[in-house]
Amino acid sequence: MQADVDPASRLAWDSAEERLLVSGEKLRIMNLTSGEERTVSPLPAEYIAWSPQGDRLVTTTFKGGDTAKDDETRIKILSVASGGELDSRAVPGRVAGIFWPS
């Protein structure tokens, strides 16, 4: 399979290494076995990770404020099946990375 991925994109493999989560201009899942590609969100995410079961995603997006104390990061849990948002929380400051422990 050949894929068009921007060099600045964030990438995350699922635990079976069959699907690739790509955050570039948008958030998408590429199934490397079937060749299918699906947009999960029209917006990109700064950091991305799969759940160990491969049924959910965690993403972060940063929103800068007028001052550093106004900065916040939004952490979202998304359903792989629907792309729908299951949970969302804002935390102060900027998150430097994210992972989903097994």
Strand partners, 21: 12, 29
- Tell me whether residue 88 is in a domain: yes
Strand partners, 19: 31
- Tell me whether residue 1 is in a domain: no
As a whole number of angstroms, the distance between CA 52 and CA 92 comes to 26
- Tell me whether residue 100 is in a domain: no
Give me the DSSP letters along 79-101.
ETTT--EEEEEEEES--------
- Tell me whether residue 53 is in a domain: yes
- What's this model's pTM, rounded to 2 decimal places? 0.85
pLDDT in tens, 19-62: 999 998 899 999 999 999 999 999 889 999 999 999 999 999 98
Q: Which domain holds residue 36?
A: 10-92
- Tell me whether residue 45 is in a domain: yes
As a whole number of angstroms, the distance between CA 47 and CA 50 comes to 11
Per the document, the length of the chain is 102
- Tell me whether residue 4 is in a domain: no
- Tell me whether residue 101 is in a domain: no
Average pLDDT over the chain reads: 89
- Tell me whether residue 34 is in a domain: yes
Strand partners, 41: 27
Q: What pLDDT shows up at residue 43?
A: 87
Q: How many structural domains compose the chain? A: 1
